[in-house]
Amino acid sequence: MSDLSRTGPVGRSLRGAVLAIVALLWVGPYLWMTITSLRTLDEIVQAPAYPLPQNPSLDAYREVMTQVPVGRYLVNTLVMALSIATLQILLALPAGYALAKLRFRGRGTAFLLVLACLLIPPQVTFVPVFTMLGPVGLVNTMGALVVPFAVSAFGTFLVRQALLSVPDEIIEAARLDGASELRIVYGILAPLVRPTLAAMFLFSFVYHYSDYFWPLVMTTDDENRTLPLAIALLREQGTGVRWHIVMAGNVILSAPVLAVFAIAQRQIVRAVAQR
């Protein structure tokens, strides 16, 4: 494939060495996390030199489950991430359609507005959004977690780009058949740009499932607490070392995303690399 593929023994052993380092650096930590989560408190306190747990135990997982309502927080997290990913697609389709296919006054301005939002990440807006939503009682609601992300500027841009390559004739034919505009957008155009939408959905889901920043600043109590927040809180003060429990929480937090990643790696990579 690439230029370095036809290499001699030196190249091959270099490659072997790199693979070993890669394994140590990128696979090792996951193993260490899992191994730690199977240890007991005693082993952790004694800071064991031996690599494998002497008496593998699931106590740490039990501890996480009793201390944290994992199920409820996981549902919160999934509801949030799925709503955001779904809303982004539902809103990006008509917006992308208007921007790609329809001629109207202000189209250029509208497009620029969407693009301008790429400049305004949540790290810029969280202070005013928080002070804005606070007095109206919206902080701490699922709405505060979802609605600000209902529009993805980049997603809208991607959908517009994808729709640009759809021939006008398809839309004209649909109009002649009497299909409503909404039906054209969601029923006819959406399937045509499905790869873009799938990539967008997956990327958005994975990103928001893991998000720590926004839920941290927009929730004050545990009603809408998401899993990343709860896992970060596992490292509670007042006790000694409890890394086995924290790592068990880490495994619980990472497993769903790694599963999604294992299944849909291709689409996620596409979403990332397609710029």
Partner 1 sequence: MRRRDVLAAGAGAVLAGCGRDDAGGVPLWFSYGGKNREALLALVDRFNREEPEHRLSAVYQGDYFELLAKLRTAIHAGRAPAVTHVVAEILPYLAHAEVLEPLDSIAALQKDFGFVPELTQNGAFSGDKNRPVYALPFNRSTPIAYLNGSILKELGLAPPTTWDELETFALAATKGKEGERRYGFSCPIDWWFWVALVAQAGGELVDADNRFILGADAGVEALQFLQRLVHELEVMRPPSGRDYNAWQVQNQEFIAGRVAMIWNSTAFVRYLEDNAKFPVVCAPLPKRDRFGVPTGGTMFVLPKAKTGRMPAHWQEAGARFLAFMARPDTSNEFATKTGYIPVTRAGVELLETSGYYEKKPNDRVAVEQLRHVKPWPWNKELFRVQREVVQSRLEACVLSREDPMATIQAAQHVIAEGP
Partner 2 sequence: MRPRHPLHPYWMLAPTLLVIGLFFLYPLCVAAKDSFYRWDLLTEPEYAGFENYTRLARSGELVGVVGRTVTFGLVVVGASTALGLALAILLNRRGRVYAFFRSAIFSAYVVSWVAVALLWMWILDADAGVVSRAFRAVGIPTMNWLGDPRSALYAIAFVTVWKITGYAMVVYLAGLQAIPPTLFEAAALDGAGPMRRFIHVTWPSLRPTTAFVASTGLIMSFQAFDVVRVMTQGGPVRSTTLFVYAIYEEIFVNLRVGRASALVMVFFVILILLTVLNLWAFRAGRRMKEAT
Residue 233 lies near partner 1 (rule: CB under 8 A) = yes
Task: Determine the distance from the C-alpha atom of residue 226 to the mean position of all C-alpha atoms in its chain, rounded to a whole number.
Answer: 13
50-66 b/e (C-beta count within 10 Å ≥ 16 → b): eeebeeebebbbebbee
Residue 138 lies near partner 2 (rule: CB under 8 A) = no
Task: Pick the closer one to partner 1 by CB: 138 or 198.
Answer: 138
State the minimum distance, in angstroms, from the CB of residue 57 to partner 2: 18
* Candidate residues 58, 75, 112, 124; the one interacting with partner 2 per rule CB under 8 A: 124
Binding track, positions 28-67, relative to partner 2; x by CB under 8 A: -xx-xx--x-------x--x-x------------------
Whole-angstrom distance, CA of residue 214 vs CA of residue 126 = 8
For residue 188, the partner it binds in partner 1, partner 2, none, with Cβ less than 5 to 8 A by kind, is none
Whole-angstrom distance, CA of residue 142 vs CA of residue 149 = 12
Residue 240 lies near partner 1 (rule: CB under 8 A) = yes
Q: Residue 149 — φ and ψ, nearest 5°?
A: -105, 10
User: Which run of H or of E encompasses 217?
Assistant: helix 213-218
Q: 113-132: which residues touch partner 1 (CB under 8 A)?
A: 130-132
The tokens 């299944």 sit on which residue? 263
* All residues at 6 or more sequence positions from 216 whose CB lies less than 8 Å from its CB, including other chains: 229
For residue 123, the partner it binds in partner 2, partner 1, none, with Cβ less than 5 to 8 A by kind, is partner 2
* Candidate residues 223, 258, 259, 265; the one interacting with partner 1 per rule CB under 8 A: 223
DSSP class of 131: H
Q: 150-189: which residues touch partner 2 (CB under 8 A)?
A: 150-151, 153, 156, 168, 171-172, 175, 181, 185
Tokens of 28: 């090792």
Among the listed ranges 53-61, 66-74, 188-196, 204-212, the one in contact with partner 2 (CB under 8 A) is 204-212
**What string of H, E and C letters represents the secondary structure of 72-108?**
HHHHHHHHHHHHHHHHHHHHHHHHHHHHHHCCCCCHH
Binding track, positions 32-51, relative to partner 1; x by CB under 8 A: -------------x------
Tokens of 264: 């849909």
By the criterion CB under 8 A, which residues form the site for partner 1?
Answer: 45, 130-141, 143, 220-223, 233, 236-241
